Structure 1
């Protein structure tokens, strides 16, 4: 399930590093006593869509929004309850409307864009390596990352794969700073092959590492 949250215009310029502010409001809506805290891969959320940038930061328009997805309907309902009790976010922004979208009926091969950059990390020789689409093994490592998540969720990973969409040349790497730490990330259209259940898992929970802090959401 997903919820799409339409937002009011901001009253103050939003900093480019607003990602951690977004994490804060989602945690507020979930609630401090929720068992979801501290667990990985339970939900994903996009960056704010339809914004305009200035030298100082970003501004929202009349059609700005972001979305939150999870396989747990209970978690989504908890977030909705939190929003209704306190729709205020940051920089004068508040949620003005909530739209619920159930999981679509996916086919065996689906094409997606990224609604936030994907962060992909592996451990190599006691060091953390950031893998981007500039690396030849990007597709393989991203696929294996999701296969492990599927298996952890007790879902089959057989036949599952992720590839870059060959029908477009759009490829972008982006250095994203989160709480003072620089992360090498990637943005590109992708194709996911698998069962309806496998693709639904990614649609709800996102791609790669750190989906719970706003990386790897797909649209």
Structure 2
């Protein structure tokens, strides 16, 4: 399931790197001591959509929104409860409305855009490396990463495949700094092939590493 949050415009410019602020607000809504903060596989959330950049930062346009997805209905209810109690976000941004969207009826092959850049990490000896679109093994690592998350959720991992959509030339790598750490990430249209349940899990919880802090959400 997902919730789509319509937002009131900001009253002062939002920093370009607002991901930490957005993560903090979601943590506030979930509440303390819940065991899901910062963990991949439980939920994902997009970056704010419909924004405009200025020299000072980012401003929201009419119709600005973002969404939060999760496979756990109880977690979504907790987030909604937190929003109703305190809809204020940051820099004057406030949640005006919440819309719930159930999981669509997916087929065995679906095309997606990314609503936040995907972060992929692999461990080589004692070093953690980032894998991006510039690496030949991007699709393989992305698929294997998602298989691992399916297995942790006790879902079937066989038969899943994630690849770049060859019908579009849009490809972008992006350096994202989060709490002082620089992360090499990727944005590109993708195709996921698998069972409807596997694809629904990706739609709800995102792809790659660190979905709990705003990476890897799918439109």
Q: TM-score range with shorter-chain normalisation?
A: over 0.9
Matches within 5 A, 1:116-131: 116-131=116-131
Q: How does 1:59-208 map to 2 (within 5 A)?
A: 59-208=59-208
Q: Note the C-alpha offset of 1:79.
A: 0.4
CA distance in 2, matches of 1:53, 1:200: 32
C-alpha distance in structure 2 between counterparts of 1:53 and 1:106, whole Å: 35
| 3-state DSSP of counterpart to 1:159 | coil
Pairing 1:1-80 to 2, within 5 Å after superposition: 1-37=1-37, 39-80=39-80
- For 2:38 and 2:107, the matched residues in 1 are separated by 33
CA deviation after TM superposition for structure 1 residue 62, in Å: 1.2
RMSD over aligned Cα atoms: 0.8
State the secondary structure of the residue aligned to 1:84: helix
SS in 1 for 2:198: helix
After the TM superposition, which segments of 4 or more aligned residues of structure 1 sit over 6 Å from their partners?
Answer: none
Q: 1:181 to 1:42 in 2, by over 3 A?
A: same
CA distance in 1, matches of 2:94, 2:150: 34
Q: CA deviation at 1:126?
A: 0.9
Show structure 2 runs of 5+ residues with no match.
none
Return the TM-score normalized by structure 2.
Answer: 0.98
Q: 1:38 to 1:173 in 2, by over 3 A?
A: closer
For structure 1, the residue ranges without an aligned partner over 5 or more in a row are none
Give CA-to-partner distance per residue, 1:170-194, whole Å, 9 cap, x none: 0000000111111000000000000
Displacement, 1:98? 0.3
The separation in 2 between residues aligned to 1:151 and 1:207, in whole angstroms, is 14
